[in-house]
Chains A and B, each alone.
Chain A
Amino acid sequence: MNESLAQIASDLRDAWIRPEPPADEEETGFFTDTTLCIGCKACEVACKQWNQLPADGFNWTGHSYDNTVALSDTTWRHVAFVEQFDPISEIQRWLMMSDVCKHCQQAPCVEACPTGALIYNEFANVYVQQDVCNGCANCVVACPFGVIARNESDGRAHKCTLCYDRQKDGLVPACAKSCPTESIKFGNLKDLREAAQKRVEELHARGETDAYLYGAEASGEYSALNSFFLLKDNPFVYNLPERPRRPAAHLKKNYLFSFAASIALTAISAVLFSGGSRG
């Protein structure tokens, strides 16, 4: 009992300590080229191993080879399988995509986090500080990609860290390291974007004109994604939203409407109460 109390006390103290943050490094990210993905799930396995994440159980979904289903608190890489054998357009292909946290440049989870547990680290990656997170689950409802989730056993939010620990030691994240076809590319963002643009042009030149980049630059209300994708079909086919919402973009308008109503009702109550006889 005393030990756990001491633990709580030190946790509380540590949450307020603000050491100097590490100096900014080059911005890093993932470029996942789905045209190279062969669906081997080595990224899923490598991620689980390096990050010591528990297994998801042995389940068959019947959704092609996808038995992982979705990203979650304990699954930070997820390979999607889309079988397209279309009698009408006569296209016969398999689309495979290794999905991961998008590491948005203006991340809704970071904007929603009330404790400051979610931060942009020195590599401009979105990172959950596990010693700060108190499990309020606001990030879970804020994420338009359904990436982050709260773990039932430890009560905190978890997601891809972009292998912060490995990056600190100059290593490539586990999934990118293990990818046998270099479908998952890791590097600094400038190089990745150039390489991605070149790859799209190359594919277009070959006649694969449906190739495009998902999230390489900001669009609409949404920021660019530090882990972006090369896709060949509508984003929704891969379970990615066509128009992800950035909740904080609507914050001011929402507050305006809300305060207008509450202030108006307060004013009306003042008018009503000031009438009538005085005691």
Chain B
Amino acid sequence: MADVQEVNDPRDVFSQITPVYDIQRSATPERVGQPGYYGLPILKRPFWKWEIALYFFLEGVSAGTYTLAAVADMTGNKRLVSVVRQGRYITFGTMLACPPLLIADLGRPERFLHMLRIFKKTSPMNHGAWALNGFGLFATVLAVLSVPASKLPFGKGVLRMVQRLVPQRIAGLLGLPFALMMISYPGVLLETTANPVWAHTNFLGPLFGASSMSTGAAVLALASARSGDHELHRQLVRFEDIASATEAGALAAYVVSAGPAARPLTVGRQSGMFVLGAIGLGIVGPAILRRSRSSVLRSVVAPLMTLAGGLALKWAITYAGQDSALDPELANRNAPSKTGDPFWGPGAAADKKFAQSSESTDQAMR
């Protein structure tokens, strides 16, 4: 893949064409049936940059801690009360950072509410906007319910009344579907695009989801590092192991299923971030440190590495879309096909075509 400047507008290839390249291209006439159009990209580069990468990370931490705190609360174990409360504060804090990041990324930030004009079943971004609203509401309610009334400078009576009226466990349970949606949709949002590095797989959703859960658990491990509850530490380490293993499995499945589309991550510009950051720092490193004898390495350094790795994973995958869009070969054969035939043109079998087209209109979602 050519090393080109970061531009969103393919017209900017002007600035990338060196004189040497110019002469070579004009001196070599195109062969008949030779693939490609001067090597120019078919797709547009994504406009999603650091705001979205950071959002994916923070909302993952937020929804991950929400889910774990809600589950811990529902066990009714008094030993877990303090980690539940810390989890809810972290959920609320990280949730607060999400809307500003999303709004800042819009071309017209003042129109952010237009996301809620409609509900559209084919748009994961629309689903995400609604889910973030529901999630934000429950994260806020649960944070308020967790504040000890005695520590407030004023309004102690009101808070106590609210806390008595709204049962925490039921609120936590009602918010759980929103949290699960927040964990599940970001991968799907990237998968349902035409960008090969994101779209040529079904495993980006599980990968993002597992990363969100493991970063959520890592934050809880950090928050409870100074408590003497060794049993909780063990439980969190066990969960980290399982979540990391799931993440590693999803990551392997992603790389295999995406095949050549994963090149921007495996050998391209994001490979350092992906291999060293996401895999080394995020999965392998913490897995080793969690087995160390030192409690500092186990419950401080390992979670910090998991967090850094989670951010690296989402960062690398978000930015990989930039290079992937420039690959015309992948964009040319973008839709899956068992036979490898083009939809239209030389090699498209008419009989097969009509059988498939009637099927696809049955599934039409307009």
Listed in ascending order, the chain A residues whose CB lies under 8 Å from chain B are: 8, 11-12, 15-16, 56-57, 59-64, 66, 68-70, 72-73, 75, 80, 82-86, 88-89, 91, 93, 106, 108, 111-117, 120, 132-138, 140-152, 154-157, 210, 212-223, 231, 233-251, 253-255, 257-266, 268-270, 272-279
Contacts and interface: CB of A to CB of B under 8 A. Distances in A.
A77 to B, nearest CB: 14
Given A12-B113, A233-B33, A279 B80 contact: yes
A233 B334 CA distance: 19
30 contacts: A8-B110, A60-B22, A61-B38, A70-B10, A84-B31, A88-B31, A114-B120, A132-B111, A133-B114, A134-B114, A135-B106, A138-B193, A142-B194, A144-B43, A155-B106, A212-B345, A219-B357, A221-B356, A235-B332, A237-B37, A244-B194, A244-B343, A245-B194, A245-B334, A251-B192, A254-B205, A261-B205, A268-B239, A273-B75, A273-B80
A236 B37 contact: yes
B22 A62 contact: yes
Interface in B146-196: 176, 180, 183-185, 187-188, 191-195
B360 A220 contact: yes
A105 to B, nearest CB: 9
Contacts of B335: 144, 220-222, 243-246, 249
B213 interface: yes
Contacts of B43: 143-144, 146
Contact of A270 (B17, B71, B194): B71
Interface stretch (B91-99, B122-130, B279-287, B299-307): B122-130
Interface string B10-48: 110110010001110110011111111110111110111
Given A257-B203, A261-B210, A270-B75, A82 B42 contact: no
Contacts of A142: 192-194
Contacts of B72: 269, 273
Contact of A111 (B33, B77, B107, B122): B122
A63 B30 CA distance: 10
Nearest to B37: A239
Given A61-B14, A152-B9, 8 more contacts: A61-B13, A62-B23, A114-B120, A134-B107, A146-B10, A212-B345, A254-B202, A261-B205
Interface stretch (B242-250, B265-273, B288-296): B242-250
A91 B345 contact: no
A251 B42 contact: no
Given A70-B11, A72-B10, A141 B46 contact: yes
A262 B213 contact: yes
B81 interface: yes
A279 B331 contact: no
A223 B235 CA distance: 51
A144 B123 CA distance: 16
Enumerate the 7 nearest inter-chain pairs by beta-carbon distance, A residue then B residue, closest first: A135-B107, A258-B205, A155-B107, A279-B79, A242-B342, A261-B206, A239-B37
B256 interface: no
A251 B363 CA distance: 12
Interface in B318-357: 321, 325, 328, 331-337, 342-346, 348, 353-354, 356-357
A244 B176 CA distance: 37
A255 B205 contact: yes
Contacts of A88: 31
Contacts of B25: 62-63
A57 B176 CA distance: 53
A16 B35 CA distance: 47
Contact of A278 (B79, B183, B209, B242): B79
A70 B81 CA distance: 59
A239 B34 CA distance: 11
B210 A265 contact: yes
A259 B334 contact: no
Contacts of A108: 194
Contacts of A143: 43-44, 194
Contacts of A274: 75, 77
B364 interface: yes
Nearest to B107: A135
B10 A136 contact: no
B108 A133 contact: yes
B29 A84 contact: yes
A157 B332 CA distance: 23
Given A82-B37, A278-B77, A89 B32 contact: yes
B306 to A, nearest CB: 14
